[in-house]
Amino acid sequence: DGGITQSPKYLFRKEGQNVTLSCEQNLNHDAMYWYRQDPGQGLRLIYYSQIVNDFQKGDIAEGYSVSREKKESFPLTVTSAQKNPTAFYLCASQGVEAGNYEQYFGPGTRLTVT
Amino acid sequence: GESVGLHLPTLSVQEGDNSIINCAYSNSASDYFIWYKQESGKGPQFIIDIRSNMDKRQGQRVTVLLNKTVKHLSLQIAATQPGDSAVYFCAENIGMDSSYKLIFGSGTRLLVRP
């Protein structure tokens, strides 16, 4: 059963704590992405990785960090430096064949920091 | 459509009517466009895509139209059903830097009245 999974679905943390969101895919996709979505708004790109051991900052990378040690996994750490971490976080993966740009999304993790 | 602050543009249609959701894209070099549907609390799901060498593509109950002259994309949903209620996003791939990133629009909320 191929797909992309995110865990947990809901996450609660106290202000000042780092938290890591999990993203795993078994689609054999090379590229993976993290987006942030705030209520009533679109998707904003945090980080992306087009190959193992390499990743690039997106539009709103400050206060976040990622790693890509395995093709299947792209965890996102929300650090205490992120000023407004409460949001819905979406992970996506994508095959990088020529002309194939469809991204497959996970179910999302809703992070609440108080 | 463009979002204003926290409020997504909303399209309200009667069940059984056709829906047309519009999107203005930003870059004339974009070579691929995609529509996603996002239900509340879930990740976006692929609906249909179109490449820049086409001006129309049809799927099951959905049609995407591309007008490159005015940089406009539309999604038409025939015989709209209650299950179509969701937020719809368009996205474009600019294709200029060998990146596979998608640039997302801010979304339109579709409400289907019974």
- Give residue-wise pLDDT tens across range B35-50: 999 999 999 999 999 9
Give the chain A residue nearest B90 (alpha carbons). A42
Q: In this structure, what token pair is assigned to residue B90?
A: 């368009």
Residues 53..82 of A with a Cβ closer than 8 Å to B: which?
58
- CA–CA separation, B69 vs A56, rounded Å? 32
Which pLDDT belongs to residue A2? Answer: 64
**Is A45 in CB contact (< 8 Å) with chain B?**
yes
Cβ–Cβ below 8 Å for A41 and B104: no
Q: Are the C-beta atoms of residues B83 and B51 closer than 8 Å to each other? A: no
Which pLDDT belongs to residue B5? Answer: 36
Q: How many CA atoms lie within 13 A of B105 on its CB side?
A: 31
Judge whether residue A97 has pLDDT over 90. no
- Residue A11 CA, chain-centre distance (Å), reads 14
Q: What is the mean pLDDT of chain A?
A: 93
Which pLDDT belongs to residue B7? Answer: 62
Which pLDDT belongs to residue A96? Answer: 74
| Other residues' Cβ atoms within 10 Å of the Cβ of residue B31 | 15
- How far does the CA of residue B109 sit from the closest CA of chain A (Å)? 9
Segment A80-93 shows an average pLDDT of 95
Judge whether residue B1 has pLDDT over 50. no
Tens digit of each residue's pLDDT (9 = 90 or more) over B54-101? 999 999 999 999 999 999 999 999 999 999 999 999 999 876 555 678
**Is A102 in CB contact (< 8 Å) with chain B?**
yes
Instruction: Determine which of B102, B106, B108, B111 to mutate to test the interface with A (most A C-beta atoms within 10 Å).
Output: B102
Which pLDDT belongs to residue A59? Answer: 92
Which pLDDT belongs to residue B35? Answer: 97
Q: Are the C-beta atoms of residues B88 and B108 closer than 8 Å to each other? A: yes
For residue B3, name the pLDDT band (cuts at 50, 70, 90): very low
Q: Is the peptide bond before B82 cis (omega within 30 degrees of 0)?
A: no
Taking every pair of Cα atoms in chain A, the longest distance, rounded to a whole number of angstroms, is 44
- How far does the CA of residue B24 sit from the closest CA of chain A (Å)? 14
Taking every pair of Cα atoms in chain B, the longest distance, rounded to a whole number of angstroms, is 46
> Who has greater pLDDT, B22 or B99?
B22
- CA–CA separation, A97 vs B76, rounded Å? 28
User: Which of A58, A90, A94 shows the shortest C-beta gap to B43?
Assistant: A90
pLDDT over 90 for what percent of chain A? 87
Q: In this structure, what token pair is assigned to residue A97?
A: 């064949």
> Given CA atoms A97, A101, A106, A111 in this order, what sign does their dihedral have?
positive
Q: Which range has the worst mean pLDDT, A31-35, A86-90, A95-99, B74-78? A: A95-99
Q: H or E stretch including A94?
A: strand A87-94
